[in-house]
Amino acid sequence: MASDKKQLMVEIKRLNEELDNLRSIDTYEESKQTLASEAKTRKTPTTSTSLKIKKLLRGHYGKIYSLHWAANGTNQLVSASQDGKLIIWNAMTCAKLHAIPLRSSWVMTCAYSPSGTFVGSGGLDNLCSLYKIPSIDEHDLNQEYKPHCEFAEHEGYLSCCRFLDDEKMFTSSGDSTCIMWDIEKKKCIHRMTAHKSDVMSLSIVKEKNIMVSGSCDQTAILWDIRKAEPIMSFPGHKGDINSVDFFPDGQAFGCGSDDSSVRLFDIRTFRQQQKYVDDTLAGCSVTSICFSKSGKYIFSGCDDFICYVWNTATGEMAEKLETHENRVSCLGLSPDGYALCTGSWDNMMRVW
């Protein structure tokens, strides 16, 4: 019995070492990325896209740092700018529905709650401020917008905020932590500590109870949001991770980094599946990413004023969107998948 137990422990140790070796950065072969190899075997064509600008959203007078679409099918989105305002738009008509003055103009993030009831924002003031959005019937042109609540547990700047629903939300910060908040009780539920440097971005899949965070420690961490505990860390990037986004089926996620690359990680194998990079991107930082509705394409905004469109399977560039006149700081796909909005330091947003 003792010998069987010893043999079993040896086998477990060997399998753990084999798993660590498979996940090691050193075993990644750039020329043999899993998805690209499979696409080549199946002779998957690299089809080009032809995105056209449909709307130009003008109204901000400072650099646009963040945008987020409402998930309630209203074609609305919220944008945050260093002019000190949140603006809620109808992206199809270009109408400004609400302009919310912020206490601090040094805003870095904004988010729309799934129902469209709240918008949240935060930045260098270390606060997450929530505003309740009045319905059309309640809207008053002379209305003063006051925060519904303010969350003040972080000890560093607020880099990202995302709603789980109208009752809970998550924030990430330069203090290396993420926090889950109870909106109704206006208090911290869990403080999530696993990163070793600033946490820059969050993405959530509510149906699977998982969240991914990207950090300046060059890793992404997958979390179980029921327990507020890390599941696995994903190394691979050689620069700060600025943006993360889940693949539409929730089985993988992408990361955009200061190392000029976008990478795709599978949460079932805990491995990198694809790397999206081009020689022309050398020295450029990837500021933001998102996937198309089908997952066929991944969009990446960069500080070279360009939004790149990549074929997810082949890893090849499908198109460049080159109309912005400054850094593409944020982007997002509408819930129905028919529109992409890009925001820039040129004070403009474009709907494609």
Q: What pLDDT score does 24 carry? A: 57
Both tokens of 300, joined, read 């990446």
CA distance 210 to 257: 21
Q: What pLDDT score does 9 carry? A: 81
CA distance 111 to 80: 9
Q: What pLDDT score does 12 carry? A: 79
Read off the DSSP letter of residue 285. P
The bridge status of strand 168-173 relative to strand 55-57 is unpaired
Q: What pLDDT tens digit does each residue of the chain (352 aa) get?
A: 667 777 888 787 787 777 666 655 555 555 556 666 666 666 566 666 788 999 999 999 999 999 999 988 789 999 999 999 999 999 999 999 999 999 889 999 999 999 989 999 999 999 999 999 876 555 555 567 788 889 999 999 999 999 999 999 999 999 999 999 999 999 999 999 999 999 999 999 999 999 999 999 999 999 999 999 999 999 989 999 999 999 999 999 999 999 999 999 999 988 899 999 988 888 899 999 999 999 999 999 999 999 999 999 888 899 999 999 999 999 999 999 999 999 999 999 999 9
Number of alpha helices (DSSP H) and beta strands (DSSP E) in the chain: 2, 28
Q: What pLDDT score does 41 carry? A: 64
CA dihedral 107, 111, 112, 118 (to 10 degrees): -60
Q: What pLDDT score does 147 carry? A: 81
Q: What pLDDT score does 282 carry? A: 84
Per residue in 23-56, is it b (16+ CB within 10 Å) or e — as a string?
A: beeeebeeeebbbbeebeeeeeeeeeeebeeebe
Q: What pLDDT score does 37 carry? A: 62
Which amino acid makes up residue 274? Q
CA distance 186 to 149: 7
CA dihedral 93, 97, 103, 104 (to 10 degrees): -10
The bridge status of strand 64-69 relative to strand 220-224 is unpaired
Q: What pLDDT score does 44 carry? A: 67
Q: What pLDDT score does 23 carry? A: 59
| Residue 85 burial class via C-beta count within 10 angstroms: exposed 0-12, middle 13-18, buried 19 and up | buried
Q: Are 48 and 320 in contact (CB under 8 A)?
A: no
The bridge status of strand 187-193 relative to strand 199-205 is unpaired
Residue recorded with tokens 């539409």: 248
Which amino acid makes up residue 20? D
CA distance 122 to 202: 14
Q: What pLDDT score does 181 carry? A: 96
pTM of the predicted model as reported, rounded to 2 decimal places? 0.89
The bridge status of strand 328-333 relative to strand 317-321 is unpaired
Both tokens of 54, joined, read 């449909």
SS (H, E, C) 193-250: ECCCCCEEEEEEEHHHCEEEEEECCCCEEEEECCCCEEEEEECCCCCCEEEEEECCCC
Helices of type H across 132-218: none
State whether residue 128 is helix, strand or coil: strand
Q: What pLDDT score does 333 carry? A: 95
